[in-house]
Structure 1
Amino acid sequence: MDYSFAAAIGLHTLAAVIWVGGMFYAHMVLRPAVTEMSVSLRLTLWSRVLPRFFAWVGVSVAVLLVTGYGVLLTGYRGGITGGNLHIDVMQIVGAVMIALFLYMLVVPFVLFRRALAINDLGAAAVQQGRIRAIILVNLLLGLFTTFIGAAGTFVGY
């Protein structure tokens, strides 16, 4: 018996859990916990947390793309064009999430690090706020996509 589809779907799910779970933790747990810290300490903490998180998101994105398109291109559930609606929704929302992540990585995160390097805490705080807003949008999109991905299999179209 070939277990490659099952392994790919399992890895796909783990990658999504890592990404969406990390955003949930960052936004719902870590962010409120650090609000009472001084701006300097809070920004220093984020400067240490974000690179680690973004590295895991990068791995998750790669795994999501390889496993998602891997199973579709090999004919799983009708292939790239024959799948159910929830697969199309996952692809579209996933592409938006990846685009937002890449934008966040190359614009506000770069500006955040530059501002911290010259000790411009005000500018760093502005960029950290932009990062937080993008993470919130991606969190909401990720929760929606997770629900659609899990429930879509059981919906008759």
Structure 2
Amino acid sequence: MDFHPLLLFVHVAGVVVWVGGMFFAYVCLRPEAASQLEPPPRLRLWRGVLARFFTWVWVAVAAVLASGLALLLRIGFAAAPPHQHLMLLMGLVMIAIYVFVYSVPYAALSKAVAAEEWKAGGAALGRIRQLVGTNLTLGFLTIAMGTIGRWLG
């Protein structure tokens, strides 16, 4: 039985959840929340939204990594074209950034909101915003490698 279509579906679905979620949060929710909410409710909103989103991102990261490695192993690392190696590298960098965001600034945001330390919470949220912007850019570049990479070189 050929599992390629299933692996590809799992891979793309994980990317949609992760990168699509970052796009929504960064481009749609962030500016609107900043324009309508004062720091205490805005920071509480972000803590709650990110708690839900990060649960799904852990699942998406596992799905993308497992399916991507399985797809690469089907052809072998040595036989894989350069754009697929680049996709793997960028994906690993994205995972590292996500783990850092979750472990450091998101933990700081959660702690600050619980203690009602709004200035510290704002600083943590600002760091998350910067790193999500970086990961969103990497996500689009990785998608480009997966879709048009074979024609780039």
Q: Normalised by the size of structure 1, how large is the TM-score?
A: 0.92
SS at match of 1:152: helix
Secondary structure, aligned partner of 1:83: coil
Q: Which amino acid aligns with 2:12?
A: T
Shift of 1:156: 7.5
Point out where structure 2 has 5 or more consecutive residues left out of the alignment.
none
Match of 1:51 in 2: 51
**Corresponding residue SS for 2:110:** helix
Map 1:32-111 → 2, pairs under 5 A: 32-36=31-35, 37-73=37-73, 75-76=74-75, 79-111=76-108
Q: Distance in 2 between matches of 1:152 and 1:8?
A: 19
Rounded Cα–Cα distance in structure 2 between residues aligned with 1:146 and 1:104: 21
CA positional deviation for 1:65: 1.1
Secondary structure of the corresponding residue to residue 78 of structure 2:
helix
Give the match's secondary structure for 1:82: coil
Q: CA deviation at 1:52?
A: 0.7
**Structure 1 residues 156, 105: closer, same or farther in 2, change over 3 A?**
closer
Count matched residues.
152
Distance 1:145 1:90 in 2: 5
Identity of aligned residues (%): 36
Give the whole-Å Cα distance in 1 for the aligned partners of 2:152 and 2:143: 18
The superposition leaves residues 63-114 of structure 1 with CA deviations (integer Å, 9 ceiling, x where unpaired) of: 01111111222x23xx122111110110110010000000111111111111
What is the TM-score with the length of structure 2 in the denominator?
0.95
1:130 has 2:145 as partner: no
Of residues 110, 124, 142, the one that matches 1:145 is 142
Structure 1 alignment gaps of length 5 or more: none
Helix, strand or coil for the counterpart of 1:35?
A: helix
Letter in 1 for 2:115: I
